[in-house]
Amino acid sequence: MRPPARARNLRMNPSDPACPARRRLLGIGAAGLALAGAAARPADAMPPPRTASGARSLAFENLHTGETLRTVYWEQGRYLSQPLRDIEYLLRDFRTGQQHPIDVALLDLLHSMGRQLDCTRPIQLISGYRSPATNAALRARSHGVARSSLHMQGMASDIRIPGRDLRHVRDLAWSLGRGGVGFYPHSNFVHVDVGAVRRWNGV
Ligand SMILES: [Zn+2]
């Protein structure tokens, strides 16, 4: 029986074998990525029953700090508090160390994108939460930074996805219609947020 949560991911590649296996690798970083190769062992080849009813996972690589995180953040109908805290930490303002809760709608958007683009590689994070001080400093240097950026509310992220064309990432985000999409080809990232649905081109 197919769980309801997966019905949202009809465009994912159903033949990708990496998705069920990786759900078992919770809260681990680069070492855990290597372990994914161990899924050929008979015990690991079994379907993961605990998450068979549906789970949402995310994998991040923070390009500023080098930190990685791979975690199931939603399972059996609820968001999981410790994984949300782990995500909040990884998406913190790396310049000041300040943290802010990340909107779960943003996590669900990134989850949907990750599933549909590439199940096996982490989303590369350029910017998650931004403190008001950092946002003001960035605004002073660049015309492309909004005064009331949704980064300051934990509702936005700047990302790229390894092995996926930036325009493809942009088009997928736009097709989902869950918020704003900014395209920054020269900086090599896409801004996605869960504010008003809108789109723009940056540099
Ligand atoms: Zn942004």
Q: Is the pLDDT of residue 12 over 70?
A: no
How far apart are the CA of 189 and the centre of ligand 1, in A? 9
pLDDT band with cut points at 50, 70 and 90 for residue 180:
very high
Q: Is the pLDDT of residue 47 over 50?
A: no
How far apart are the CA of 158 and the centre of ligand 1, in A? 5
Q: Is the pLDDT of residue 151 over 70?
A: yes
Q: Is the pLDDT of residue 43 over 50?
A: no
Of 2-6, 91-95, 190-194, the least confident: 2-6
Which pLDDT score, from 0 to 100, does residue 144 have? Answer: 78
How far apart are the CA of 183 and the centre of ligand 1, in A? 9
Q: pLDDT by residue (tens digit) across 71-123?
A: 999 999 999 999 999 999 999 999 999 999 999 999 999 999 998 987 688 99
pLDDT band with cut points at 50, 70 and 90 for residue 52:
very low
Q: Where are the domains of the chain?
A: 54-201
Q: Which CATH architecture has domain 54-201?
A: 2-Layer Sandwich (3.30)
How far apart are the CA of 181 and the centre of ligand 1, in A? 9
Task: Reduce the secondary structure of the chain to three states and give it as a string.
Answer: CCCHHHHHHCCCCCCCCHHHHHCCCCCCCHHHHHHHHHHHCHHHHCCCHHHCCCEEEEEEEECCCCCEEEEEEEECCEECHHHHHHHHHHCCCCCCCCCCCCCHHHHHHHHHHHHHHCCCCCEEEEECCCCHHHHHHHHHHCCCCCCCCHHHHCCEEEEECCCCCHHHHHHHHHHHCCCEEEEECCCCEEEEECCCCEEEECC
